[in-house]
């Protein structure tokens, strides 16, 4: 299995070029469901240690349905198959350029959440034009004890994955607080589940974001994002930024076309803006940088007792 690893703002993406399971040639959302239900061992063996690492997202290349797309892709972490992945799409675009499969300019990529646009401006810089993103619930209160407060309040929004966004964070969004932020975000996610609060069609809200002030002038804010596999996103999270733009637009806090900079907990940044969507949401633009780090062949030795990964 031939893979290429990159990172986008510190968040790794592993593009799988061959050797994936046969998922048929139906809509990508159906193929993603098939991957999630029938091939968990496949994606866990690639994402979990010792072959993978906790922050890594996989990008399985598949044949697109739309012939205008340069490729189809299904993203996953060690725990879940994702609808879309912003940092992964930036990493994938830089990887396709590294392979000589695309030139600078505008291209389309098909994901289970829909077709997204990508513009490669230089070998490392990509702007993703995401699917229409929207807020579905504002100011939802949850009885979760976080840093002395009895409850938290957040919005539910979709940006290709489902998010609960808490602004302001009751815990300082600082690297020193990573374990407290992670534990609190897990408690929030469990409370959403216990209350039956979901995205559309009962979709689980499996990403949680805390927002705090930025360190530098010119940066809108800093975020901490918990992913479904309990790892935190080292990048500012492209689908999370899309959900955030939908919330800022719905609250009248950001005008169409205005640009802001979003910082991650480790200080990596994306430039963000949006245009109004056709269905009341926003069409986000996310600009970030990715770097290719490794090209390798994964080996699955039948005698290896940890061949399928350590997924505790």
Please report, as ranges, the residues that interact with ligand PYC according to CB under 6 A.
11, 57, 82, 85-87, 161, 227, 233, 235, 237-239
69 is catalytic: no
Nearest to 284 by CA among 165, 178, 130, 115: 130
Q: How far apart are CA 178 and CA 201, in angstroms?
A: 32
88 class by beta-carbon count within 10 Å (0-12 exposed, 13-18 middle, 19+ buried): buried
Q: Tokens 């100011």 identify what position?
A: 139
Least CB distance to ligand PYC at residue 86 (A):
4
Q: Residue 22, SS3?
A: coil
Closest approach, Cβ 76 to ligand PYC, in A, equals 10
Which is closer to ligand PYC, CB of 238 or CB of 306? 238
In angstroms, the Cα distances linking 253 to 156, 158, 247 are: 17, 18, 8
> Which tokens belong to 173?
């969004």
- Per the residue annotation, which of 48, 237, 241, 247 is the catalytic one? 237
Of the pair 57, 97, the CB lying nearest ligand PYC is at: 57
Q: Is 237 a catalytic residue?
A: yes
**Tokens 């990008």 belong to which residue?**
59
Residue appearing with tokens 């990403």: 207
Q: How far is the CB of 40 from ligand PYC (least distance, A)?
A: 18
Count the neighbouring beta carbons within 10 Å of the beta carbon of residue 44: 21
Is residue 76 within 8 Å of 43, Cβ to Cβ? yes
Of 47 and 120, the one with the shorter C-beta distance to ligand PYC is 47
Closer CB to ligand PYC, residue 7 or residue 87? 87
Catalytic one among 85, 227, 241, 247?
85
What is the smallest separation between the CB atom of 119 and ligand PYC, expressed in angstroms? 17
Q: Which residues are catalytic?
A: 85, 237
């Amino acid at each position: 299995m031939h893979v290429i690893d990159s990172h986008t703002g510190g968040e790794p993406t592993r593009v799988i070029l061959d050797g994936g399971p046969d998922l048929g040639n139906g809509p990508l959302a159906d193929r993603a469901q098939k991957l999630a239900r029938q091939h968990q061992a496949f994606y866990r063996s690639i994402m979990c240690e010792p072959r993978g690492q906790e922050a890594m997202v996989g990008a399985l290349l598949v044949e697109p349905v739309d012939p205008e797309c340069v490729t189809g892709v299904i993203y996953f972490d060690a725990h879940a198959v994702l609808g879309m992945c912003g940092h992964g799409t930036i990493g994938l675009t830089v990887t396709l350029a590294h392979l000589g499969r695309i030139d600078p300019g505008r291209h389309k990529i098909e994901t289970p959440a829909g077709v997204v646009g990508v513009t490669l401006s230089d070998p490392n810089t990509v702007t993703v034009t995401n699917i229409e993103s929207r807020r579905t619930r504002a100011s939802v209160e949850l009885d979760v004890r976080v840093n002395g407060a009895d409850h938290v309040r957040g919005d539910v929004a979709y940006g290709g994955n489902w998010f609960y966004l808490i602004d302001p964070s009751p815990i300082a969004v600082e690297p020193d607080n990573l374990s407290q932020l992670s534990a609190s975000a897990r408690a929030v996610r469990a409370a959403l589940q216990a209350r039956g609060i979901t995205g559309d069609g009962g979709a689980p809200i499996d990403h949680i974001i805390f927002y705090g002030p930025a360190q530098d002038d010119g940066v809108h804010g800093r975020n901490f994002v918990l992913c479904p596999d309990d790892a935190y996103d080292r990048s500012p999270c492209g689908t999370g930024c899309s959900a955030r733009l939908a919330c800022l637009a719905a609250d009248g806090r950001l005008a169409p076309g205005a640009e802001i900079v979003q910082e991650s907990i480790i200080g990596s940044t994306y430039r963000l803006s949006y245009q109004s969507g056709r269905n009341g949401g926003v069409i986000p633009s996310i600009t970030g940088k990715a770097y290719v780090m490794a090209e390798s062949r994964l080996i699955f030795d039948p005698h290896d007792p940890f061949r399928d990964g350590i997924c505790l």
